[in-house]
Chain A
């Protein structure tokens, strides 16, 4: 019994972290609620009447417009609509999309993995390029290497994603035929893997269908590269700046004077300390990418959430836009929390506060 007292403080520490995570999540609720109400009102304030848009058949008159309005619940007073919407949300019902004719939740559940898979791949790709580039640039500031990195970053951020996307398609699909046709997550004639996680790469790996995995990865390369190019700049520039600051600091000078190996100083001492701002910016970049990859999704016919929301917005289709914004806000909260937890891993002095 007395032995059990020993691990208790440890469990207590993790308990404290859990409590703090819980508090963070709880404190996000008012923010999410605010987003919910704001989007709800904003959609209704925007000009454009969805009922008119969807009752667009020839010979449809006011009667049909009223019918659609009633089906969408738009004939009721605003406060009643809001209360109904909130009540529906507590039961997990996000309403129906007129654009696809499906419940919004079904659409989002089906499309979110596509967006996440693309965004994760793009972020990984961007980080795997940006970190070495940033480090190299920081080690040799002002040299040709530094200028080349700066040029690459500027180019990436200057060219809009739909231009670079179309350009990549033109070269690698149309001219060289190296890439598969840019129409979604998987070749249309290929068999889809069983739906396990919705992430094709994971699902194919789980059923050990490596040919399928390669096909899915092939579809992913061009859109992921397009997005990675675009976010290369903030990541590489941030890595460079923060590496420069760390490399000039006292403890690095001490490490150097103690004769530690070059490699050890850069990777173990400098990089770990330089990573904090990069982590922060990665979180922001990730959330931005998820919502802002709409052009990439459009160009590559990627069945993701962003292009879904854009189509709905253009049609003044309220429910999908509201559902999308809520989803994005939730993801934003989660990503920020995750980043804060990762802070603690990168720098034990920081905590999930």
Chain B
């Protein structure tokens, strides 16, 4: 029999699944059951909590590792998006919450096993949770946003039962069990590779997995490709449609678009907005476009730096920006505008981000600038990172042009990403643009993360006593009406003070073969292969 190379892999796959089909048929079937996902990034760690892990690593870990709980998904128009208000068990088959909201009891799924076939025990779960709050990784700061800070908060309460206790009924305690960092690890396997310097096996888990999730890592070559095989013993959800997933790094964005359009690759999510528009028009692929419901693009002003410490100056700039033109030039209007709302003082609901009452009005801008004591304008620098220059450059040009009309002279400065991030963290950038995404899109979490405390994600270095107090209380507010009122108040303050300008929510756009269904937008902005199937 002629044995060609493609069939070689197909036959190997066939043997693995115990099929006895003729080679040709098996090959066709295996390609149909394989998802080839091409991305510009790399999976640089199999453990998402290792510092430096990429977004691809987060996405991959969702498929390889189970968490105790998971967010559900809901329909938004024709598309699927995640639903952070619907939390279901993943490794836990049942989650009980005590009436005072301070104790969560996780009942581990009956018959749950790790990839090596050993059963999942309460000790494994306890070890994994301890690791998430103790290891020198990115997990502890995330867990602390749900008041989860110490191993003492986790207790083995029986065979297959683990309890988690929080001091106050934190609204986000359970949500934090769903984030990429909250992986459940086969502790027997991981401990074998732990050392005295590295008791939580961070180094080993970076390149190896000790998991029990829907997919098993078959091959991992950082920077090139990662190949996954379906775990047919997985019971954490519906069985995924693809038996095999290839995650391949293809740095050139035009090539990724070509690959999907030619049918050689099945899925790509990080294409240029202009390419996506062209691909959608030619119609050979399916384009799923969902507004990033938990994200936003902002134009930030450093509130601790003159002249932006003056609210009138910030309001003047907010009134001078050409929102619609920027939206069109930067994103071809592929997104959800967060400007142009018609409310004035009180927002219609407590959702956040929501459109803010921002309108272009040069007359008003000039007047505000006069009131602020800068009738002749001033000079400033607008900084953009190279990583986002595709959309930020046209935006910057329009900002320069329209601020020149109110005598503000803007120099555009473009910095490599590492340099840009450093400037941002050290808060030396006066005026810049970037994007942000909150994993947990609760309004109070948004405000706590992006508008309080002197930390990197407080883009505008905003410090407002009322918002500080409101976020501290809202985190533990159990009364829905009071929580709503607090969130609305925070949005009101934001509209009045304009510490930064919310521009829009970009679309999350996934381009895929036309026969693929089930694509869901997740809070970590990556494909979850478990949702997908070929029809």
Residues of A within 8 A of B (CB): 46-50, 52-65, 67-68, 71, 98-102, 107, 166, 169-170, 173-174, 177, 181-184, 187-191, 211-212, 215, 298-301, 303, 307-308, 314-316
**Given the complex of chains A and B, what is the CA–CA distance between A54 and B50 in angstroms?**
10
| Residues of chain B having any CB pair with chain A under 8 Å | 4-6, 8-10, 31, 36, 38, 42, 44-45, 50-53, 136, 138, 141-142, 144-145, 181, 206-207, 222-225, 246, 248-252, 254-255, 258-259, 261-262, 264-265, 386, 416-419, 421-422, 425, 437-439, 449, 455-457
Question: Shortest CB–CB separation between residue A114 and chain B, in angstroms?
Answer: 10
Chosen A-B contacts, 30 in total, with CB atoms closer than 8 Å, are A48-B418, A48-B419, A49-B418, A52-B425, A53-B418, A57-B181, A61-B455, A62-B455, A68-B52, A71-B51, A98-B52, A100-B44, A166-B252, A169-B255, A174-B261, A181-B258, A181-B264, A182-B255, A183-B255, A188-B246, A189-B6, A190-B6, A191-B9, A211-B5, A215-B5, A301-B249, A301-B251, A307-B251, A314-B386, A316-B418
A99–B418 contact, CB under 8 A? no
* In the bound complex, CA of A58 to CA of B181 (Å): 11
Quick check: A191 and B8 within 8 Å, CB to CB? Answer: yes
Give Cα A257 to B493, complex, Å: 97
Which chain A residue lies CB-closest to B219? A192
At the interface, is chain A mostly helix, strand, loop or mixed?
Answer: loop
Given A57-B138, A166-B252, 4 more contacts at CB 8 Å?
A52-B422, A57-B141, A303-B224, A315-B418
Interchain nearest-CB distance for B1 vs A (Å): 14
CB-CB < 8 A to B222: which residues of A?
A: 100-102
- CB-nearest residue of chain B relative to A183? B250
- How distant is the Cα of A187 from the Cα of B265 in the complex, in angstroms? 12
Q: How far is the CB of B217 from chain A (nearest CB, A)?
A: 14
Question: What residue in chain B is nearest A313 (Cβ atoms)?
Answer: B416
CB contacts (< 8 Å) of A177 on chain B: these are 262
The 8 Å CB contact of A47, one of B9, B181, B258, B419, is B419
Task: Find out whether the CB atom of A181 lies under 8 angstroms from the CB atom of B259.
Answer: yes
Q: Which chain B residues border A100 with CB–CB below 8 Å?
A: 42, 44, 222-223
The minimal Cβ–Cβ distance linking B29 to chain A, given in whole angstroms, is 13
Chain B contact surface mostly: mixed
Chain A residue contacts of B254, Cβ below 8 A = 166, 169
Q: Which residue of A lies closest to B34 (CB)?
A: A189
Given A48-B419, A181-B264, A183-B38, CB of A60 within 8 Å of CB of B138: yes
- Check B207 against A61 for contact (C-beta < 8 Å): no
- Chain B residues in 8 Å Cβ range of A191: 5, 8-9
Distance in Å from the Cβ of A215 to the closest Cβ of chain B? Answer: 6
Q: Is the CB of A314 within 8 A of B142?
A: no
- In the complex, chain B residues whose CB is within 8 Å of the CB of A67: 51, 136
Is the Cβ of B224 less than 8 Å from the Cβ of A64?
no
Cβ B36 vs Cβ A188 within 8 A: yes
Q: Which of A48, A166, A215, A298 has a CB less than 8 Å from the CB of B251?
A: A298
Please, which residue of chain B has its CB at the minimum distance from the CB of A58? B439
- Alpha-carbon gap, A54 to B455, bound state (A): 16
